[in-house]
C-alpha cells in the first residue's frame, strides 16, 4: 500500500497539489473514494486533478444533483461522482458505475463513496481530507492499495 500525508494552506495550494495526488492514483482505470466533511475540499481536489489532466477546470463543479460529471483531459478522462444524495445500490448500478470503472482511460473519483460498502470493496484507494489548524489548511491522506 502507498500512503502519503500532504498538507496545503490554500485553495490554490490544493489545486497545485492535485497533480501529485493524481499521479499516486495512476495507472488508470482506478476508482478512488474522496472522503471528508462538507467543505473539506473534495470537489476542489477533483478540479485540480481535472486541470492537471488537461480538462477545462471551469467545467468542474459539484455533481450534487446531477450525481456524475465527466471531464475529458488530453489522455485521461475523469468521472466525478457525488453519492451524497444516493440511497440504494440499485441507483448506483443505474448510474453506470461499473462501465465507468471499466473505462481503461478513466479515473473515477467518488465523493461520499464510503456510504456504499460495494463501492469501498471495489475502490483502489482513498483520499481522506481533514481540516488543519488554520482556516485554509487541509490535510490529504492518500492511501492506494
Summarize as ranges the residues that interact with ligand ADP (CB under 6 A).
8, 10-11, 13-14, 36, 38-44, 62, 111, 136, 138
Tell me which of 20, 28, 62, 130 binds Mg ion, using CB under 5 A: 62
- Of the pair 1, 65, the CB lying nearest ligand ADP is at 65
C-alpha cell at 113: 463513496
CB of 123 to ligand ADP, least distance (A): 17
In the complex with Mg ion, which residue's Cβ is closer, 111 or 119?
A: 111
Helix (H, G, I), strand (E, B) or coil at 5: strand
DSSP 115: G
| Strand pairing category for 30-35 and 138-144 | unpaired
Phi and psi dihedrals of 144, rounded to 5? Answer: -115, 135
Name the residue with the smallest CB distance to Mg ion: 43
80 binds Mg ion (CB under 5 A): no
Q: Which is nearer to ligand ADP, 111 or 142 (CB)?
A: 111
Nearest to 106 by CA among 67, 63, 73: 73
Q: Calculate the alpha carbon distances from 35 to 31, 82, 114, 125, 143 in Å.
A: 13, 11, 7, 11, 11
Rank residues 39 and 98 by Cβ distance to ligand ADP and give the closer one: 39
Tell me if 11 sits within 8 A of 104, measured CB to CB: no
Does position 69 interact with Mg ion (CB under 5 A)? The reply is no
Binding site for Mg ion (CB under 5 A): 42-43, 62, 111
Amino acid at each position: 500500500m502507498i500512503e502519503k500525508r500532504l498538507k496545503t494552506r490554500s485553495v490554490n495550494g490544493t489545486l497545485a497539489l492535485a497533480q501529485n495526488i493524481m499521479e499516486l492514483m495512476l495507472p488508470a482505470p482506478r476508482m478512488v473514494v474522496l472522503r471528508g466533511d462538507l467543505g473539506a475540499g473534495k470537489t476542489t481536489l477533483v478540479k485540480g486533478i481535472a486541470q492537471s489532466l488537461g480538462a477545462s477546470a471551469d467545467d468542474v463543479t459539484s455533481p450534487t444533483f446531477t450525481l456524475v460529471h465527466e471531464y475529458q483531459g488530453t489522455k485521461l478522462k475523469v468521472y466525478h461522482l457525488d453519492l451524497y444524495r444516493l440511497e440504494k445500490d440499485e441507483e448506483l448500478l443505474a448510474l453506470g458505475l461499473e462501465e465507468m470503472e471499466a473505462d481503461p482511460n478513466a479515473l473515477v473519483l467518488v465523493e461520499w463513496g464510503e456510504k456504499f460498502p460495494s463501492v469501498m470493496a471495489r475502490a483502489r484507494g482513498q483520499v481522506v481530507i481533514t481540516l488543519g489548524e488554520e482556516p485554509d489548511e487541509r490535510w490529504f491522506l492518500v492511501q492506494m492499495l
